[in-house]
Amino acid sequence: MDEPDQSGKSKNDELTIEAKNFFEFYKKEIGESLRKEKNILPFDFEKLTEFSNKLAEEILTNPEETLRIIEIAIEETGLVNNLRVRLINIPKTQEIKVRTIRSRNLNEIIIIEGIVRQASDVRPQVVNAKFECPSCGTVISVLQIEKKFREPSRCSCGRKGGFRLMSKEMVDTQRLVIEEAPESLSGGEQPKRINVFLKEDLVEPKMEEKTTPGSRVKIIGILKEVPVPLHSGGLSTRFELAIEANNIIPMEETFEELNINEEDEKQILELSQDPEIFEKLSKSISPSIWGYEEIKKSMVLQLFAGRAKIHADGQKSRGDIHILLIGDPGVAKSVILGFMANISPKGRYVVGKSSSGAGLTATVVRDEYLRGWSLEAGAMVLANKGLVCIDELEKMDPSDRSAMHEAMEQQTITISKANVQATLRAETSVLAAANPKFGRFDPYQPIAQQIDLPPTLINRFDVIFPLRDLPNRKKDGLIADHVLHEHQKEGEDMLIPRDLFRKYIAYAKQRIKPILTDLAVEEIKNFYVELRNMPVSSEGTLRPIPISARQLQALIRMSEASAKMRLSEEVELKDAKRAIEIIKYYLTQVGYDYESKTFDIDRGTGGMPASQRNKVFIVRDTIINLEGKIGKMIPMEEIEKELEGKLTKEEIDEAITKLDISGEIYKPRRGYISRTLKT
C-alpha cells in the first residue's frame, strides 16, 4: 500500500521542484507581477510549456492539486503568503463551447467564452471551520466543500457530536450565469447557459465592474459537478454542471480601459503631428465604401466625442455626439453602422424592427434564482461609454422609440417597474440609420415629412445626413471602379491599422480634456448669430429659424472632438472652423428652404418651414377678417378673391388642408369653411 503513496509523494515533490525552478528562471517578471497585484500571480501557460512540459500537462489533467502545489512552492520561496495563481494564455485546445461540455471534461481546465446574463450578489461562504472537543480539548479542522455545513463526526477521544465551533474561514463568492455568444450559434440553435462560481480576488469591486450583466468575458476554470438535492432529502443521480473559475478575462474594454504602453504612446504622438491626421482617420472608416467624406469626418469626431461637463448648479451637459443617416436604399448605411459598432469598444449593433424599448434601455425580469425581480440591461446601458448603432430606426415601435429620448439627452435610463426603482447610466453615442417613408427621397419635400420619426427625436441628433442615390455618370463610374476593385482584392487595409486607430482614440479620451479658446468662442458665436439673423429675401412677416441652440451645442461638441483628435488641450480656431464646415454641410443638405432661399432648421427637424407657416398664417387671418364681414360660413371663392395676387390657388388649398388637420377650421358643407370655436 505504501508504494503508490510513495510514488504519489515523489511525483508531488518532483512537481514542486519543477515549479521552484520555473520561478527562479522568471524571478524578475514574477516579482513585478506581485508588486502590481498583491497575492495574485498571472501565470503564463505558454512560458511554462517552454520550460516544463510535465508541469504544464499536470495543470491540464489534474488542475486543482497541481495549482495548489504551485502556490505552496511559491510560498516556500518566502516571497509571498496566501498566494493565488491565475492562469493566462491557455492553449486553444482547451476552448470549448458550452453546448459541447460533457462528463469527460469533469475536473479538467476548460475555457468558455460568452456573455454574462445574470450576476448574483457577492456573499461570504465558509471554506474551513475549526471545532473544539469539550471532552479532551482537541481542535478539529473541517473543510467545507459541499453546500451543507459539516461538523466533525467524531473526535479521537471517542466523543460523537456536541463540538464547539471556534472559528470559521470565509471567502467572498459570487455566481454568474454565462450564455454562449450569438456568433457561435448556427441556424435555429438556442444559446445554452452554464453557472460559474467566482471567489476571492475575482469578486473584488474592480473585477466586479467587468462582470456586470451584458459584458463579454472569457472564463478559464475547472468543470465541477454539483449535487442536486431531492425533495425527499436525498441526492439525485443527475448532477448539474458548474465551472469554478480560476480566471476571468474581459473581452470588451472601453476606450478609458485600453492599455497603452510606451511604444504605443510614441506611435500615437508621432501620428498626432501629421497635418493630415483628420483625412487619414476619416479614410480609415469603412474603406470599402467610396465617398461620403463629410459623413466619415463627422464619424471620426463622434468616436472622439466632446467633453462632458457638470456645471456649478449640478446640471450635466453631454459630450457624446449623436448622428442620424437617412438614405435611399443601397447607399451602404448598414455597412457603415456595422463597421462603427466593431471599431468602437462596447459597440452594439441593433436593428429597429427586432428591438424593443426594453431591449434598448432596460427591463425588469423575474429572477429564477433569487425568487424576486431583477434588472436586465438593454443595448444602450451595455454600451455605456461606447457606441450604439441602430439600423432601421423608423421601423421601431413608437412606444419603444420613446424610451430613447431620455437616454439620448440626459444620458440616464430610469426604470420604475414592479418593486425595482433604478436609474442606470447610459453615456452612449448613438449612430442611427433610417429610410424615407416612400422608399426614396423626394428632393423638394422637407426631410422631416419623409421619415416616420417624431420631431422631438430627430431634434436630439446633433447632425443629420441624407444619403441620396442620384444618377451621375462621373460619380457612378468611380463607385463602380471602387466596388469592383474591392471584390478583386477582397478589401484593402485601413490607412491607419485598426489597433493603432483604437489606441489613438483611447489615448485622446483618457488624457485630453480640451478647453475652448477665445478665438474659437468668437468664431462659433459669429457663425451662430450671423446665421440666425440672415436677411430674408422672401416678403413676409415670419422669419425662418435657420439654426437653434441645439446646433450650437453640437458645434461646441464637435470643436472639442476635433481638438481631442489633434491631442491638443485647447480648442483652436481651426477646430471651430472644422465643426462649422460639418454643420454647414448638414444644414445645406437638410435645412435649405428653396422658397425663401435661406436655411430653416424646421425643414430638417419637423414642423413647417417658415415660408409655408407664413402662408398658413395669412390664410388664417383672411378667414378671421371675412368672418366679421360675411358671417360664420365663408365660401371658398371669397377667400380666393381676397388673396388674389398674394397666393396661388394651390398654396391656399395647402394652407387650408393644414388648418383643417390642426383643427383650426372645419368644412360644414362643400365649398364652405367655418372657424372652429376654441373653448
Domains and CATH numbers, the chain: 2-89 (3.30.1640.10), 93-250 (2.40.50.140), 262-588 (3.40.50.300), 610-675 (1.10.10.10)
Tell me the pTM: 0.68
pLDDT band at 513; cut points 50, 70, 90: confident
Query: Residues for the chain: how many in total?
Result: 679
Q: Which of residues 61 and 537 earns the better pLDDT score?
A: 61
Q: Which of residues 521 and 259 earns the better pLDDT score?
A: 521
pLDDT of residue 257: 64
User: Are 409 and 458 within 8 A, CB to CB?
Assistant: no
121-151 per-position pLDDT tens digit: 778 878 778 888 888 877 877 777 666 777 8
User: Are 191 and 179 within 8 A, CB to CB?
Assistant: yes
Radius of gyration, CA atoms only, the chain: 34
Distance CA 145, CA 229 (A): 15
297-326 per-position pLDDT tens digit: 888 888 888 888 888 887 888 888 888 888
The CA–CA distances, whole Å, from 118 to 198, 251, 457 equal: 13, 17, 32
Distance CA 117, CA 96 (A): 19
Average pLDDT over residues 220-230: 82
pLDDT of residue 546: 53
Average pLDDT over residues 57-81: 78
Q: Is the confidence at residue 679, as pLDDT, over 50?
A: no
Residue 386 DSSP symbol: S
pLDDT band at 415; cut points 50, 70, 90: confident
pLDDT of residue 476: 76
pLDDT band at 287; cut points 50, 70, 90: confident
Name the 3-class secondary structure at 26. Answer: coil
CB atoms within 10 A of CB 449: 13
418-449 per-position pLDDT tens digit: 677 778 788 888 888 888 877 777 666 666 66
User: Are 56 and 49 within 8 A, CB to CB?
Assistant: yes
DSSP string, 89-104: S--GGGB--GGG--GG
Distance CA 26, CA 32 (A): 10
- For residue 634, count CB atoms less than 10 angstroms from its CB and return exposed for 0-12, middle for 13-18, buried for 19 or more: buried
CB atoms within 10 A of CB 267: 16
User: Are 192 and 98 within 8 A, CB to CB?
Assistant: yes
Read off the C-alpha cell for 571: 480648442
User: Are 179 and 117 within 8 A, CB to CB?
Assistant: yes
Percent of the chain with pLDDT over 70: 82
Q: Is the confidence at residue 364, as pLDDT, over 50?
A: yes
11-28 per-position pLDDT tens digit: 677 777 777 777 777 777
Read off the C-alpha cell for 8: 504519489
Q: Which distant-in-sequence residues (6+ apart) come within 8 Å of 104 by Cβ?
A: none
548-597 per-position pLDDT tens digit: 777 788 888 888 888 888 888 888 888 888 888 888 887 777 654 444 44
Average pLDDT over residues 148-166: 78
**Using H for helix, E for strand and C for coil, what is the string for 646-679?**
CCCHHHHHHHHHHHHHHCCEECCCCCEEEECCCC
> Which H or E run includes 587?
helix 573-590
CB atoms within 10 A of CB 490: 6
pLDDT of residue 368: 57
Q: Is the confidence at residue 543, as pLDDT, over 60?
A: no
pLDDT of residue 604: 45
The CA–CA distances, whole Å, from 271 to 192, 263, 340, 668 equal: 45, 12, 21, 72
Distance CA 559, CA 583 (A): 11
Residue of 323, 584, 581 whose CA lies nearest to 467:
323
542-575 as b/e: b if 16+ CB within 10 A? bbbbbbeeebbebbbbbbbbbbbbbbbeebbbbb
605-662 per-position pLDDT tens digit: 444 555 565 677 777 777 777 777 777 777 777 777 777 767 777 777 777 777 777 6
Summary mean pLDDT of the chain = 76
pLDDT of residue 535: 56
